[in-house]
Amino acid sequence: MSPDTAVLAEKVAAVERHLGRVADLLPNRPENLLPMTVESDAVILHLWQAVQVVIDLAVSTCVKSGLGSPTSYAEVFRKLSRAGSIEAGLSERLTRAAGFRNVVAHAYEDLDMARVHKTAMQGPPDLRAFLAAMATLEAASKR
């Protein structure tokens, strides 16, 4: 089972909105992303929110597909990969994104700004690839 069209469209729009803000505010060089600034706070918040939307969609898809309720955010991507819904490499990268989300949610003051910058540069294609995989599942369920 896949996410329904309206929910998926809403999630895609939300992720794109958050990633757009990240792109608008992210400096080109990691050393220019300074901690505790309006820009870094916004980059972190919007990146965290984009990842959270993807996690929420993944959990929902996992449960609706009968794969069971995952015990962690990382496990949800592994379950979807084992079911053939996403490829293994994407699963591993999204597992790391879930780890980043946890660091942001539980220890903001300890964030490594170089890691934030790297995640903001490299992570968006993976979030979009996940959304594309969900769109493929949704389209296949209508056939």
Residue type at 52 in one-letter notation: Q
What confidence tens digit (pLDDT) does each residue in 30-78 have?
999 999 999 999 999 999 999 999 999 999 999 999 999 999 999 999 9
What confidence tens digit (pLDDT) does each residue in 69-123 have?
999 999 999 999 999 999 999 999 999 999 999 888 887 567 899 999 999 999 9
Structural domains of the chain, count: 1
Q: Are 67 and 79 in contact (CB under 8 A)?
A: yes
Q: Taking residues 20-27, what's their average pLDDT?
A: 98
The residue that leads in pLDDT, 110 or 127, is 127
**What residue numbers bound the domain in which 31 lies?**
5-141
Whole-number Cα distances in Å, 88 to 70, 79, 80? 17, 10, 9
CA distance 68 to 136: 21
CATH code for the domain of 96: 1.20.120.580
Tell me 37's DSSP state.
S
- pLDDT of res. 2: 55
- pLDDT of res. 32: 97
- pLDDT of res. 63: 93
The residue whose two tokens read 């053939």 is 84
Number of helices (H) and strands (E) in the chain: give both, helices first: 5, 0
pLDDT at 128 over 90: yes
Report the b/e string of 51-71 with b at 16+ CB within 10 A: bbbbbebbbbbbeebebeebe
- pLDDT of res. 140: 84
Residue (of 39, 42, 47) closest to 14 by Cα position: 47
CA distance 129 to 9: 14
- pLDDT of res. 108: 57
DSSP SS3 for 23: helix
- pLDDT of res. 3: 64
